[in-house]
């Protein structure tokens, strides 16, 4: 009888430790000027490590893509940095349903971001 539960426990463990809830494309609301999300955070998992980029959309619809660096996860918060014209600090906090969150970012003397985000699509390929 004990052996019959082993496959169930193994399956539950595999599902529990599968893909991170942070992986995917997290986007702020769409700008009326550019018709694009102002900020998109793309999180991918490669070789059991998370990485990705932050895409910022300028008013002229041009994009700045910044790689994510020094990523750390604690419970439902992912903290990371980007380096563009300077060092920026970011955090993505997941809400209960895991498809919504809050993006907070700050670049000294440049910008401060506190925006709700939605997971818009599965992990990009």
Q: Maximum Cα–Cα distance for the chain, whole Å? A: 66
Residue 5 lies in a domain: no
Residue 54 lies in a domain: yes
Identify the CATH number of the domain in which residue 29 sits: 2.40.128.20
Residue 9 lies in a domain: no
Residue 4 lies in a domain: no
User: 84-121 pLDDT, tens per residue?
Assistant: 878 999 999 999 888 999 999 998 877 889 999 999 86
The Cα 117–Cα 103 span in angstroms is: 6
User: Which pLDDT belongs to residue 122?
Assistant: 54
Residue 8 lies in a domain: no
User: 2-26 pLDDT, tens per residue?
Assistant: 444 333 333 333 334 567 899 999 9
What values do phi and psi take at 58, rounded to 5?
-80, 165
* pTM of the entire predicted model: 0.79
Residue 13 lies in a domain: no
The Cα 41–Cα 124 span in angstroms is: 11
Residue 76 lies in a domain: yes
User: Which pLDDT belongs to residue 9?
Assistant: 33
Which structural domain range is residue 46 located in?
20-121
Alpha carbon distances (Å) from 33 to 55, 58, 62, 66, 101: 17, 10, 12, 22, 24
What is the total count of domains within the chain?
Answer: 1
């Amino acid at each position: 009888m004990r052996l019959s539960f082993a496959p169930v426990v193994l399956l539950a463990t595999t599902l529990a430790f599968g893909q991170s809830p942070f992986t995917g494309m997290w986007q702020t609301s769409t700008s009326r000027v550019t018709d694009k999300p102002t900020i998109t955070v793309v999180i991918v998992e490669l070789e059991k490590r998370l990485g990705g980029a932050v895409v910022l959309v300028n008013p002229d619809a041009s994009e700045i893509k910044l790689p994510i660096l020094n990523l750390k996860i604690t419970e439902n918060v992912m903290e990371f940095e980007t380096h563009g014209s300077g060092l920026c600090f970011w955090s993505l906090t997941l809400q209960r349903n895991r498809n919504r969150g809050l993006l907070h970012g700050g670049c000294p003397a440049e910008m401060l971001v506190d925006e709700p985000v939605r997971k818009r699509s599965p992990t990009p390929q």
